[in-house]
Structure 1
Amino acid sequence: MLNVLLFVAGLVALVGGAELLVRGASRLALAFGISPLVVGLTIVAFGTSAPEMAISAGAVLGGQTDLAVGNVVGSNIFNVLFVLGISALIAPLVVHRQVIRQEVPILIGASLLLAVLSLDGRLTLFDGALLLGLVIAYTVFLVVQSRRETRDAGVAAHGDAPANEYDTALQTPRGGARLPVQLALIVIGLGLLVVGSDWLVTAAVAFATALGVSDVVIGLTIVAAGTSMPEVATSIAAAIKGERDIAVGNAIGSSTFNILGCLGLSGLLAGSAGLVVPPALLAFDLWVMVAVALACLPIFLSGREIARWEGGVFLAYYVAYVAYLILAAQSHAALPAFSSVMMGFVVPLTVITLVVVLIRRPTGAPAH
């Protein structure tokens, strides 16, 4: 009964926290002249990745370094396939041109970098420092880029006015009197998301353990999905409220931050011993994460939106991935047949469908 109450309380905290976070973040973006996309890629994405950061850091300090990597890999697969999938089912997500041109390639690059660094079965102290340095540089770049675009737009609209007037305007947020309220909404929302996800994970792990599910499956599915519940709640709330830039930016930004920020910090905390990359993860799940990141490009390019049917494809693949993990963990007799159907029929059919849609759909579809 206690676990049931924890599960319900976690869901309530997630919904309330997501509502406050999206409201505060969208107003903060308007106040500072920063685009909602960048807020989704930075404040919202980094905030909703707090559970992954906490669990990965705690795992390293507790001596379970392999869990730190597994949590990030599982969360990234969940972020793209489940979070974007369910958000697109609620409302087709128009994809910002910047996401296609810049953010998805950065996520792909970060995923490939992690794969290369993991080939020796360990993330060293240097690897951690490199990843952490990259996330700092990425964040600074995004903010500077957004403010420059806002300033250029202002100068273009008032061509004869001195540029320094716009610099001054950008440094003074509009609605400054309400700035503390907006920041309070973000902080309270993040707090509720972190607490809610912790309650949800605790209850879900207890349920799974009672049902006899193995630790490996729990780590790659329930813990990874549970720590990504803030992303789920935030992206769904953003999609419902029409803040679709935040919905997409949150999922992509969180995935990038998971790799660069969470594993970067975890690598530093691990010290000279480094982070162990489990052989099973290196043989399969890590490459699924890379493939999922690569799959974003053709879907995003097909009309520059994630349509409802494409969201359905993402969700179906996540269900198939979880089914594979469960069958593999139990060495089930149905595993060979399941793998043959997926690789011989489902995957090729999806690729062919996406290619046809990419060719037929007009390239002038909406993008902002």
Structure 2
Amino acid sequence: MLMVALIVGGLLLLFAGGEMLVRGSVGVARRLGMSELLIGLTLVGFGTSMPEMVTSLQALSDDAVGLSVGNVIGSNVANVLLVIGAACLISPIITHPRALARDGLFMVAATVLFAVVLWFDMFTRLVGLGFVAILIVYLTTSVILDRRKNSPAAVVHSGEAEVIETHEPLWLSLVLALAGIAGVVIGAKLLVTGGSDLARVFGISETVIGLSIVAVGTSLPELVTSIMSAAKGKADVALGNVLGSNIFNILAIMGVSATVYPFSVIGQPAASGAKPVDVQALEYAPGESLVGMQDMGALALSVFLLVLFAYTGRKLARWEGAVLLGAYALYMALSFNLLPHFGDLV
């Protein structure tokens, strides 16, 4: 079972590489005198999203568009329904609406923008550069606003960095960061290869593989960081980390991906000489979108539930965490056709 070994090995390397990259880069930044605020706003967000970034780029370089886009959508859904749901079960999350308002509203806006671009299939190099430019403006504005006294958001972003404990000397932090990059790159290659093979062997679309196995694997850094935050009594930091990660996933990953490899989410006929593919088994025929309404509906539902639970009642209770986890289980069951789709019941 070579493909299973590739997938498991890829997931392990992505997880270990992502952890080393975050720890090493944060350690280097602290040794160079970077503030906890800036570390939390930039390095933690970039570091925890690096597995998704490299995996999506690797998938596009292998013409696995469905796996690349599915990875981003699935990671954002998993960040909310799985990561926050699991953190809530460990410890109820006390929320501070004022501290999370800016990032929360910006995440909603970024998600709406992504849905529009996806609907009109506009992942061109110009749009990709636009996504990156929006992210840079957001980060610059956040740093300026958070440096003001009594900024509630600054507490959350600084807390994201403080959760990462580093005591290594500069040279060891550099080694960890470089080793983390190597682990993420190799892990992404193994995961994309194994995931593509799995899709072909079992007749599952690459998009579903990206939405599930790949997305969960690349979301492991966020899961670990959020659980650590909840265990240390900084559950609001866990929520802030997920908001930031979802913003990075859309603007940074899709932006860089479209800039490097402009792509289309409309299924294309198989190239001459390519292996025959059972279109019905893969669900997406040429001319149809690789991303279905069910997937975008899951993304919209996750955002709605997060906003509803986080900004009402000032607490994410354990029962709300159970609802999020239940919604994720239902989505995975529908994705793998373990339950009848709504259209099949009509």
Task: Provide the residue aligned with 2:106 in structure 1.
Answer: 106
Of residues 221, 225, 236, the one that matches 2:227 is 236
Residue pair 1:39, 1:246 contacting (<8 A) in 2 also:
no
Task: Identify the match of residue 211 of structure 2 among 192, 209, 220.
Answer: 220
Distance 1:149 1:186, change over 3 A: farther
Superposition deviation, residue 260 in structure 1: 0.5
Q: 1:188 to 1:243 in 2, by over 3 A?
A: farther
Amino acid corresponding to residue 248 of structure 1 in structure 2 = L
Give the superposition deviation at 1:55.
1.8
**Do 1:70 and 1:220's aligned partners in 2 also have CA atoms closer than 8 Å?**
yes
Residues in 1 aligned to 2:16 and 2:58: alpha-carbon distance in whole angstroms: 26
Q: How far apart are residue 17 of structure 1 and its match?
A: 6.6
Q: Distance in 2 between matches of 1:246 and 1:198?
A: 31
Shift, 1:293, TM fit: 1.4
**Structure 1 unaligned residues grouped into runs of 5+:** 153-175, 341-368
- The code of the aligned residue for 2:133 comes to G
User: How far is 1:294 from its partner?
Assistant: 2.5
User: Does structure 1 residue 264 correspond to structure 2 residue 255?
Assistant: yes
Structure 2 CA distance for partners of 1:214 and 1:247, relative to 1, 3 Å: same
CA apart distance, 1:149: 3.4
Task: State the distance in 1 between where 2:96 and 2:193 align.
Answer: 36
Q: 2:336 aligns with which of 301, 306, 326?
A: 326
Bigger Cα Rg: 1
Higher relative helix content? 1
Q: Give TM-score scaled by structure 2 length.
A: 0.71
Change (3 A) 1:228 1:182: same
User: Aligned equivalents of 1:268 and 1:256: distance in 2?
Assistant: 17
Q: Tell me the equivalent position of 1:286.
A: 296
Q: Deviations over 1:23-44 (max 9, x none)?
A: 7788868965544xx6444321
- Report the aligned-residue RMSD: 4.0
Q: Which amino acid counterpart does residue 236 of structure 1 have in structure 2?
A: I
Under a length normalisation based on structure 1, what TM-score does the superposition of the two structures give?
0.68
For the residues of structure 1 that align with 2:40 and 2:107, how far apart are their CA atoms? 15
Asked whether the 8 Å contact 1:34–1:147 carries over to 2, the reply is: no
Instruction: Report the residue type matching 1:84 in the other structure.
Output: I
What amino acid is aligned across from residue 124 of structure 2 in structure 1? T
Deviation track 1:187-245 (CA, whole Å, cap 9, x = no partner) reads: 66676677677777877887887777554432221111112122222222232233434
- Structure 1 distance, partners of 2:192, 2:224, is 14
Query: Paired residue for 2:54?
Result: 54
Structure 2 stretches lacking a partner, 5+ long:
153-166, 267-287
Do the aligned residues in 1 keep the contact of 2:207 with 2:291 (CA within 8 Å)? no
Question: Are the structure 2 counterparts of residues 254 and 122 from structure 1 closer, same or farther at C-alpha, using a change threshold of 3 Å?
Answer: same
- For residue 148 of structure 2, what is the amino acid of its counterpart? R
User: Deviation at 1:95?
Assistant: 2.6
Identity, % of aligned pairs? 36
**Kindly tell me: are residues 215 and 281 of structure 1, through their superposed partners in 2, closer, same or farther at Cα, counting changes over 3 Å?**
closer
Q: Closer, same or farther in 2 for the Cα pair 1:228/1:269, shift >3 Å?
A: same
Q: Give yes or no for contact 1:40–1:249 (8 Å, CA) kept in 2.
A: no
